[in-house]
Structure 1
Amino acid sequence: MMTDKPTTIKEIAKMLKVSVSTVSRALNDHSSIGLTTKMRVKKLAEELNYEPNQKAIQFLHGKSYVIGVILPELSESFFSAAISGIEDIAYKRNYTVLLAQSHDDADREKLLVEKMKTQRVDGLLVSVSKTTSTYEHFDNFKKLNIPVVFFDRVPPVKDIHYVASNLETGTFEAVNFLLKKGHRSIGMINGPQTLVASHERKEGYIRAMLSNRLKFDPSLMISCDLSEKGTVEVMDRMLNHKRKPTAIVTFNDYVALFAMRYVKSLNLQQIDFVSYANLPIINYMDYIPIASVEQFPYKQGKKAADILIDLINKPKNESATEQAYFHIVVESELVLSSKR
């Protein structure tokens, strides 16, 4: 009589008149089990639609084989590419991804971190929100010996694992590029000061100006909350500046699109924009950044996932003092627009 109850290893063992351990080893291709027995066990398991008890496997190995991922916005092409890299590595190494979005809200991020802990993920990958300014909510993972690897948006704290792009170098190249085109009044729409990436952009901008023996004007660098409204407010300040910029470096391609649309709505003389992220969509627009700093999100995601799974699988007897922290920097690259 057929039932909806799942078939167990114990039932297969009883039907074949062998031990439970023999069935278990046969299903897992253990070398101690002969080929004939393996074939008998697997044939019956298939006929009975046997499926492994994942909870039992997790208990046996002390793992869930699930990694958590918290990122700001999956709708952004950058993070979509990053999650593709993460999932490719997770699939390759037999892990499942549990994905959550903070929507750039620090309180939501804190709640998600707690939920990931409750779900017993084996490790966590995080790109912090733009409003996150404290990082104690990750401490419980450290206490439980659950590894956390940050990527792209990295906290300004010590003793963490991270993968990030070299934005200072990318910004230096971007500003140098504009200077070589003859621009001298170059504005920057930077991100929130809570983000390490904002500081890296600032340092690259200053270094480029000083290396060209030009004075750094801090009033031409304005922080923004990365929203369209915030971008328009910054653009108003830029356009009314006594040294109205002829070129502007923006925090990312979305900010660039907001700024360019606003400039176009005012029917102003075209301003040269350089951005970050190198989104595919910009190539389908009439007015686009003349260059964009490629940050290789897919590569960042793959590397971060690989590091996390390596940390999950490292020997548990390794002391904290012996642990080395992974600080991986992916070099950025200035990509010129094909429509130039």
Structure 2
Amino acid sequence: MKELVTIKAIARQLGVSPSTVSRALQDHPRISLHTREAVHTLARQLNYFPSTTARNLKSGKTGIIAVVLPEIRENFFSEIINGIEELAFDRGYTVALYQSHDKVEREERIFTGLASQRVDGILVSVAKETQRFGHIQSVIDRQIPVVLLDRIPPGIAAHRVGCDMERGAYEATKWLAGRGYKRIALLNGPIALVASEDRYRGYVKALLEENLPVENALIKRVDLTTPDITEKMNQLLQSATRPDAVLAFNDYVALDAMRACRARHLRINTDIGFVSFANLPLTAYMDPPPLASVEQHPFKMGVTAVEILLATLADEGEESDFQTIMMAPELVVSEAALHIA
């Protein structure tokens, strides 16, 4: 294996001290122009690369941002990471990606490791089953900046970036009511997720304004797995007062729920309408797609989270107010809906 070139090796060949080489590589004005040029020329010839480890020890920074997400196979979270990486890479940071796979024990182990690795900052969207947050507070107590992203837990003093899900659910439910739907069901997410409660509040507010019934029988919580979604959708369909429309937690939930309806020979968006969240590209390949989907702007969410984190790092530990930035949702109506009377 070829030996790595060091500052000491360059110093030996030029007959100068290692500290002189180090300063010359940084173009320190106290080093003569002749010496600086000689050092840079030899460094290029020897393919010298500075030691990031040594530089990081000196600066106290690692140049690494950790990102903890539930599942990157989901298009929503992959778009978030795309936004994060684009800006982080441009600013000279490396992104270390971790997946909790929606398991709280795995999430806690990840944070334990991050606390000892001393990454510069952490962006996190919590697992669906996480209801205790001591592992997140622990890294904050170690002065590691944290930005809470999309799935934002309560009670933690940190920066927050998400989308206004209450407003999204409100506008989606109002839109369905405006198209004549009278019995609108809600296939909501796990109770541990704040976003589930946000959706519920927006849904109820819209129903009350439209003088439509708010019935417990029309509200189901799912654990975001296909078997549970199928079971809960079948419960709705077996009800004596079957819904004529469904507001689904996201496009994946809508897809599984729509499959359950087809199994009962119901025509999607004719016998029962669907509106969901996320506006994922996959909906373009669904026949038919949901009538509409709430765009949550995941790419922009990722970029904004990195901007806040880097600004926090630039403050070098100075106290600052925590920011809460909520993207405005956008109800995107499908082409199929435009042709339905």
Normalising by structure 2, what TM-score? Answer: 0.94
On the 8 A contact 1:260/1:288 being kept in 2, the answer is no
Residue of structure 2 aligned with 1:101, choices 83, 99, 102 = 99
Query: Contact between 1:260 and 1:287, CA under 8 Å: does it hold in 2?
Result: no
Do residues 190 (structure 1) and 191 (structure 2) align?
Answer: no
Match of 2:295 in 1: 294
Alignment of 1:297-316 (within 5 A): 297-316=298-317
- CA distance in 2 between counterparts of 1:245 and 1:34 reads 81
The aligned counterpart of 2:334 is 337
The equivalences for 1:200-211 within 5 A come to 200-211=198-209
SS of alignment partner, residue 301 of structure 1: helix
1:66 and 2:64 equivalent? yes
Give the superposition deviation at 1:66: 0.5
User: Counterpart of 1:85?
Assistant: 83
With over 3 angstroms needed to count, the CA separation of the structure-2 counterparts of 1:25 and 1:184, relative to structure 1, is same
Counterpart of 1:78, as a letter, is: F
Structure 1 residues 22, 195: CA separation in 2 closer, same or farther (over 3 Å shift)? same
Aligned counterparts of 1:213 and 1:30: Cα–Cα separation in 2: 74
- Give the whole-Å Cα distance in 2 for the aligned partners of 1:338 and 1:25: 63
Aligned to 1:138: 136
Which runs of structure 2 are paired with 1:208-247 in the superposition (5 Å)? 208-247=206-245
Deviation at residue 22 of structure 1 after TM alignment: 3.1
Q: Equivalents in 1 of 2:293, 2:280: separation in Å?
A: 8
Report the CA distance between 1:35 and its aligned residue. Answer: 4.6
C-alpha distance in 2 between matches for 1:185 and 1:31: 76
Q: Is the 8 A contact 1:146 1:312 kept in 2?
A: no
1:194-228 CA-to-partner distances (Å, cap 9, x unmatched) read: 00000000010011111223332232111100110
How far 1:13 moved relative to its partner? 2.1
- For the residues of structure 2 that align with 1:32 and 1:222, how far apart are their CA atoms? 71
Cα drift, residue 152 of structure 1: 0.5
Q: Determine the C-alpha separation between the residues in 2 that align with 1:241 and 1:39.
A: 82
Deviation, structure 1 residue 28 = 2.7
Select the residue among 127, 142, 145 that pairs with 1:147: 145
Amino acid corresponding to residue 99 of structure 1 in structure 2: L
Moved more, 175-184 or 134-143: 134-143
Q: Give the whole-Å Cα distance in 1 for the aligned partners of 2:123 and 2:27.
A: 33
The corresponding residue for 1:160 is 158
The CA deviation string for residues 136-186 of structure 1, in whole angstroms up to 9 with x for no partner, is 011221221001111000102142211010011111110011001100100
1:51 aligned partner: 49
**Counterpart residue type for residue 309 of structure 1:** L
Q: Secondary structure in 2 aligned to 1:198?
A: helix
CA distance in 2 between counterparts of 1:12 and 1:290 reads: 67
Q: 3-state SS of the aligned residue for 1:84? A: helix
CA displacement at 1:50 relative to structure 2: 1.1
SS of structure 1 residue aligned to 2:49: coil
- What is the deviation of 1:274? 0.3
Q: CA deviation at 1:255?
A: 0.5
Residue 327 of structure 1 is aligned with which of 300, 324, 334? 324
For residue 283 of structure 1, what is the aligned residue in structure 2?
284
Matched residue type, 1:292: S
Shift of 1:337: 0.8
8 Å CA contact retained: 2:187, 2:219: yes
Q: Structure 1 runs of 4+ off > 6 angstroms? A: none
**How far is the alpha carbon of 1:76 from its aligned partner?**
0.2
- For these two proteins, the number of residue pairs brought into alignment is 334
In structure 2, the CA distance between the partners of 1:45 and 1:266, relative to structure 1 (3 Å rule), is same
Gaps in structure 1 of 5+ consecutive residues: none
For the Cα contact (< 8 Å) 2:172–2:275, is it kept in 1? yes
SS at match of 1:4: coil
Aligned CA distance change for structure 1 residues 120 and 315 (closer, same or farther; 3 Å)? closer
Give the 3-state SS of the residue equivalent to 1:89 in structure 2: helix
The CA RMSD over aligned residues, in Å, is 1.5
- In structure 2, what is the Cα distance between the partners aligned to 1:160 and 1:200? 19
Deviation at 1:284, TM superposition (A): 1.2
**Corresponding residue for residue 28 of structure 1:** 26
Distance in 2 (CA, whole Å) between partners of 1:33 and 1:231 is: 69
SS at match of 1:275: strand
Cα gap change, 1:31 to 1:275, in 2 (>3 Å): farther
Superposed CA deviations along residues 284-322 of structure 1, whole A, max 9, x for unmatched, are 121210100000000111111111122223133x3xxx4
CA deviations over 1:39-77 (Å, ceiling 9, x no partner): 321221111121211110110000111011110000000
2:276 partner SS:
strand
